[in-house]
A and B are shown apart, each in its own frame.
Chain A
Amino acid sequence: MIQIQTTPAERIGGYFRAVLDLLGEWAGPLDALFAAPAHRPSRRQVDAAVEPLAAALLDRADLSIAGAGFVAAHSALTDAPWHMAWWQGGSKERLARLTPQEMGETYARREWFTVPLESGRAHVTGPYVDFLCTDEYTVTMTLPVGGARPVGVAGADVFVESLEGVFGADLAAVHPAATLVNRSGRVVVSADPQLAAGTVLAPGWQSAAGVPRARGELWGGAELQAEACSRLPLAVVYPRV
């Protein structure tokens, strides 16, 4: 699944691309469901289509996925304004909340939902404490569904603690302090064991202006080498020698 990558950043980004590629394969069955705008699907139809897809992703032991599913855009379904067809954990437990209405109002402004719908591109959100779904420290990968007329996002969660195992060795091979950061320069995983996930380390690594520096007193404010993971809002950073 993971293709041959040239740089360490590409190799590390390979994990996220592998998951997003698998989510991209959901386009077939999901597009079919939403093919006719005049006949929007029901919650039951969406659940029936998504459950086997989510289950297959949760079964991939090599990817350590904690949850997966489809989250509908507003009014995309015929019988509910909002809907989450989402399954979690080894037992593929259905995510159920008491008030779907409130749930929708809440997820409608979450980064993992809004960014892919607005940009039309895959997104990686987090690390963040996901108090809506997993109740854990989570990274969420999401992809818009429906092309020009988006009907929702397909997504998968991974626990930050699982990523330690996935990337630890790859990062250390780059540099003893090599660190995977998200679009805001927040630490996802670091080879530097003292650097906590969630720390804002490299704000502005994406900016073209000047060399980015470690924030505040982190790494003594060192200048950073930043290698972007292509097509993803992620980079591997480490102090410049």
Chain B
Amino acid sequence: MPQRSSPQHRLRAAVFAPLGETGKVQRVEDRIIQGISAGVLRDGDRLPSEAELASSLGVATVTAREALVGLRSRGLVSTKRGRDGGTFVTLPRGDRHQLVRDRLGGMSRVELRDLAIHYGAIASSAAELAADFADQDDIAALRRLLADPPGAAPAPAGQAPGRVVGDFLLELAALSQSARLTREYVRLHTDFGSLLALAHADPEFDAPMRRLCADIAEAVGNGEPDAARHLVNRYVRAGLSRLITEHSRLTAAPAPSPTSGRTT
């Protein structure tokens, strides 16, 4: 512990903290993997070129290239040459969930809870502000997002589970009228939201959560900021609880002996 660790000192240290030159390749890979797990990048989607990727992520071209090599070796992207060539997402159906489970299993419960707290703080603050700022057109747009497309199953083919709730909360975040909150929500959504998709894959979770979103729209429409905040927090807690159960299952030590006859 440094001798001078006043809050002011801590804030000053944050200004001059390293920008993180190391591990950039890994971070680029993680970003793309998060995009795939969140269902933002779908099977067959073309990725930007190395140069575009480097420029949009703010890394060197060689870093982007190395990241693509890593993704290719994991079978998550493939590269085609020629006129219609490029790098494409390759994701056999179902694999997205495995990708997310791997990520969840690799996290600690502390990290998972902390992520949920951050996500909940942003999403619920946005909801609170939205209740102050939304007009009738905004509420109508929110409700349209929740209306099932005619004849569609809970999650239409090729669409990530939880997409409806995720899109709803993104629109809600934008209604806060805060560009910063909205950007932060988008960032967290590819992070925590991709984990939540695991919970949404179960219709027994997804259906009541969609109803909860309808209640959120109602609270926002009635101009009830406290209720809107409370309902969003309830969603995040329910999602976190599901993820912790799944996390425990994934990280459970194998049964002591195959002959112990543990019943399930």
Contacts of A184 in B (CB 8 A): 135-137
Partner of B41, one of A98, A128, A203: A98
Contacts of A131 in B (CB 8 A): 170, 173-174, 182-183, 186
A96 & B52 in contact (Cβ 8 Å cutoff): yes
Interface-central residue, B48, B135, B177, B182, by most chain A CB under 10 Å: B177
A135 & B183 in contact (Cβ 8 Å cutoff): yes
Interface membership of A137, Cβ < 8 A: yes
Shortest beta-carbon distance from A184 to chain B in Å: 5
Interface membership of B176, Cβ < 8 A: yes
- How many angstroms between the C-alpha atoms of A186 and B173 in the bound complex? 18
Interface membership of A163, Cβ < 8 A: no
B135 & A186 in contact (Cβ 8 Å cutoff): yes
Partner of B179, one of A96, A136, A196, A199: A136
Contacts of B141 in A (CB 8 A): 109
A129 & B174 in contact (Cβ 8 Å cutoff): yes
Contacts of B182 in A (CB 8 A): 129, 131, 135
Chain B residue at smallest Cβ distance from A132: B174
- Whether A129 touches B179, Cβ cut-off 8 Å, given contacts A96-B52, A98-B41, A99-B41, is yes
- How many angstroms between the C-alpha atoms of A198 and B183 in the bound complex? 17
B177 & A197 in contact (Cβ 8 Å cutoff): yes
- How many angstroms between the C-alpha atoms of A117 and B133 in the bound complex? 26
Chain B residue at smallest Cβ distance from A159: B179
Interface membership of B224, Cβ < 8 A: no
- How many angstroms between the C-alpha atoms of A131 and B175 in the bound complex? 11
Interface membership of B98, Cβ < 8 A: no
Contacts of B46 in A (CB 8 A): 98
Query: DSSP class of A's interface residues: helix, strand, loop or mixed?
Result: loop
Near B by CB (< 8 A), chain A positions 159-215 give 184-186, 196-200, 203
Interface residues on B, range: 20 to 34
A128 & B174 in contact (Cβ 8 Å cutoff): yes
A200 & B135 in contact (Cβ 8 Å cutoff): yes
- Whether A98 touches B144, Cβ cut-off 8 Å, given contacts A129-B174, A200-B135, is no
Interface membership of B26, Cβ < 8 A: no
- Whether A99 touches B133, Cβ cut-off 8 Å, given contacts A129-B182, A137-B179, A197-B177, is no
Contacts of A129 in B (CB 8 A): 173-179, 182
Q: How many residues in A have their beta carbons less than 8 Å from beta carbons of B?
A: 21
A109 & B144 in contact (Cβ 8 Å cutoff): yes
Interface membership of B66, Cβ < 8 A: no
- Whether A98 touches B45, Cβ cut-off 8 Å, given contacts A128-B174, A131-B170, A200-B135, is yes
Near A by CB (< 8 A), chain B positions 45-75 give 45-48, 52
Contacts of A186 in B (CB 8 A): 135
- How many angstroms between the C-alpha atoms of A203 and B186 in the bound complex? 30
* Chain B window 127-164, contacts with chain A (Cβ cutoff 8 Å), 1 for yes, 0 for no: 00000010111000100100000000000000000000
B45 & A198 in contact (Cβ 8 Å cutoff): no
Shortest beta-carbon distance from A126 to chain B in Å: 10
Interface-central residue, B48, B133, B144, by most chain A CB under 10 Å: B133
A198 & B133 in contact (Cβ 8 Å cutoff): yes
Interface membership of A13, Cβ < 8 A: no
Shortest beta-carbon distance from B42 to chain A in Å: 7
Chain B residue at smallest Cβ distance from A97: B48
Chain A residue at smallest Cβ distance from B144: A109
Contacts of B183 in A (CB 8 A): 131, 135
Shortest beta-carbon distance from A156 to chain B in Å: 18
- How many angstroms between the C-alpha atoms of A96 and B51 in the bound complex? 13
Contacts of B42 in A (CB 8 A): 99
Contacts of B136 in A (CB 8 A): 184
Contacts of A96 in B (CB 8 A): 48, 52
Contacts of B173 in A (CB 8 A): 129, 131
Contacts of A198 in B (CB 8 A): 133, 177
Shortest beta-carbon distance from A124 to chain B in Å: 14
Shortest beta-carbon distance from B46 to chain A in Å: 8
- How many angstroms between the C-alpha atoms of A198 and B138 in the bound complex? 12
Chain B residue at smallest Cβ distance from A182: B135
Chain B residue at smallest Cβ distance from A135: B183
* Chain A window 78-108, contacts with chain B (Cβ cutoff 8 Å), 1 for yes, 0 for no: 0000000000000000001011000000000
Interface membership of A127, Cβ < 8 A: yes
Residue ranges of B at the interface with A (Cβ–Cβ < 8 Å): 35, 40-42, 45-48, 52, 133, 135-137, 141, 144, 170, 173-179, 182-183, 186
- 14 cross-chain CB contacts under 8 A: A98-B35, A98-B48, A99-B42, A129-B174, A129-B176, A129-B182, A131-B182, A131-B186, A137-B177, A137-B178, A196-B177, A200-B133, A200-B135, A203-B135
- Which 6 residue pairs of A and B lie closest in terms of their CB atoms, listed nearest first? A198-B177, A129-B174, A129-B182, A184-B135, A137-B179, A136-B179
